[in-house]
Structure 1
């Protein structure tokens, strides 16, 4: 509302609006008015879809989720696949679904074993039905030899490429007999660089360290050598040194240190192992090689282990010179700082 205090003010306002109207009429006659016409908002007609799928199946998943569109008030979710290019292909996606399905079935069997274990007194060896169930699970994880690690369709490696698969193996290991657990440990050490690369997204390999650590503590000297030698196997078509990859990964370096520490303990407990033979020579060569790999690795690139054995530096003192030991000590201390 406009308040006009006097008659003169009213006349001035009336004259102003008369002039404004005359100006607008003149502009329209000259064709200038149309230039300043504001654009009108035109909303297109949206035709409602006849069929609306409210449930979508996400590629690479076992389940399905509900989504929404403008015709549904339910909250929409991001159903875009974030997998790698390899996983986005049809064959790889189908293979991954089969692996996930196998893991789910094996998990159900593992849960039955764990439930039976809760109701019974723990025993070091299993017999009868329980032993058969454990063996059946192990056979489902049994590894196969592959020539090309990157393209391997090995069932065990595929299981360990999934977070839930790592959880499955970690919970199954305590139930396995020693020889079965050792076979899985050797398979992991032999393919560790590949598993480390596949674990970049999940960062879940560390959950295997505790159960594998118990397995390592029961290894014989010959089994220990097999595990360390598996860590040094160069994958076909790869120019990167396996130990270099392992030292930059927390799980990898922790597993390596645990193997070296157990080897030193075995030598300290059994003096006969120090007698010159092929096994002792192989052990010495492995320790020296690993020591040089650690010394040449930049401290910032050396991963921090989950556990640092106290007998690790004394082990290197027995096999390498003092100067190299000092370099190793400096590298390990700096690794803890970084």
Structure 2
């Protein structure tokens, strides 16, 4: 090695030893050298040795860079791709969040507290209703007192002191945005009369994509499927079409239909399959339902669009339904061609029988 190369290697090694706080980061060497200096000074005083400077490892002082700028930052990852030097080494783990969630505004925080308070009050009323039927399975109340309790609870759930129907629906959605609110609705549904339960089912169906997005953290919407499933059979064909048509509409400035979000969620796809199955049953029992041109076109378009969305979706993205209706195969085979049915078979991984 040339002298220049040796100096370069020594410089690199010395830079790695540099420290802004040597007594903390290199404690043992500093204490050793202090003792050595004291020993040499004592020997010089006693005349046992001549005054000679002993060798000491002197490390250069270099100010470390305070800021750390990464070249590539991957949000939510522990490791990161970064440029590093001996002055600013690459971090092996970056566990510090790079962004803080936006704090809730005063109005939003107040609204959330109000919803949580309403849920607690409604749960107390629900416990009274359940206490009255503790000896049997939940069912619509027959005594006058129980009916009054259920009606009061239903009105509180739907209105929440809101006079506007849109605001009332939004209040119900806010209840369903809370984990305990979903449990409240699931336990209340068996006690409700048919008309009231169907009205809640229609609201949930109409706002299904929004509820799925709000349930991303909790993942507990599935608890609503069983109690809601008992009332799907009470939907009229017109109500069914209205609920499904809302999932087919393309939102403004969006290339994704709401049904795409529904198919990627277990509760969403289970409810969608149950609604399609009910529609197939209604049409099979009463073909006159689709005799009118508008209803026939609407029902056919809905089935074809859903079949196309399922066929185009990767298998890994399609959620596994809680139950698969037996008549869903006949429904798709009646409205789509064989090629699309084959794509559905590949995507849904079902044994299709032609």
Normalised TM-score (structure 2): 0.66
Unaligned runs of 5+ residues in structure 1 are: 1-19, 37-83
Alignment map for 1:1-338 (pairs within 5 Å): 23-26=40-43, 85=101, 88-119=104-135, 126-142=142-158, 145-146=165-166, 154-234=170-250, 238-333=254-349
Work out whether residues 190 and 233 of structure 1, in 8 Å CA contact, stay in contact via their aligned partners in 2. Answer: no
Work out whether residues 247 and 257 of structure 2, in 8 Å CA contact, stay in contact via their aligned partners in 1. Answer: no
Query: How many residues are paired up?
Result: 264
Counterpart CA distance in 1 for 2:261 and 2:45 is 78
CA root-mean-square deviation: 3.2
The Cα offsets for residues 19-62 of structure 1, whole Å up to 9 and x where unpaired, read as x99635147897989x99xxxxxxxxxxxxxxxxxxxxxxxxxx
How far is 1:88 from its partner?
Answer: 3.6
Counterpart CA distance in 1 for 2:292 and 2:169 is 41
How far is 1:110 from its partner?
Answer: 0.6
1:24 to 1:199, Cα distance in 2 relative to 1, 3 A: same
1:240 to 1:217, Cα distance in 2 relative to 1, 3 A: same
1:171 to 1:154, Cα distance in 2 relative to 1, 3 A: same
Counterpart CA distance in 1 for 2:166 and 2:102 is 19
The Cα offsets for residues 283-336 of structure 1, whole Å up to 9 and x where unpaired, read as 1121111111111212221111111112112100111111111111211118xx
Counterpart CA distance in 1 for 2:316 and 2:133 is 44
3-state secondary structure, aligned to 1:330: helix
Counterpart CA distance in 2 for 1:234 and 1:101 is 36
1:209 to 1:123, Cα distance in 2 relative to 1, 3 A: closer
Counterpart CA distance in 2 for 1:123 and 1:242 is 33
How far is 1:193 from its partner?
Answer: 1.0
3-state secondary structure, aligned to 1:273: helix
1:300 to 1:275, Cα distance in 2 relative to 1, 3 A: same
3-state secondary structure, aligned to 1:318: helix
Normalised TM-score (structure 1): 0.69
Work out whether residues 241 and 299 of structure 2, in 8 Å CA contact, stay in contact via their aligned partners in 1. Answer: yes
Counterpart CA distance in 1 for 2:117 and 2:325 is 39
Counterpart CA distance in 2 for 1:192 and 1:102 is 22
Counterpart CA distance in 2 for 1:22 and 1:134 is 92
Counterpart CA distance in 1 for 2:210 and 2:139 is 35
Work out whether residues 158 and 172 of structure 2, in 8 Å CA contact, stay in contact via their aligned partners in 1. Answer: yes
The Cα offsets for residues 178-204 of structure 1, whole Å up to 9 and x where unpaired, read as 111111111111111111111110001
How far is 1:92 from its partner?
Answer: 2.1
3-state secondary structure, aligned to 1:304: coil
Work out whether residues 185 and 227 of structure 1, in 8 Å CA contact, stay in contact via their aligned partners in 2. Answer: no
3-state secondary structure, aligned to 2:349: helix
Counterpart CA distance in 2 for 1:259 and 1:85 is 38
3-state secondary structure, aligned to 1:142: helix
Work out whether residues 142 and 155 of structure 1, in 8 Å CA contact, stay in contact via their aligned partners in 2. Answer: yes
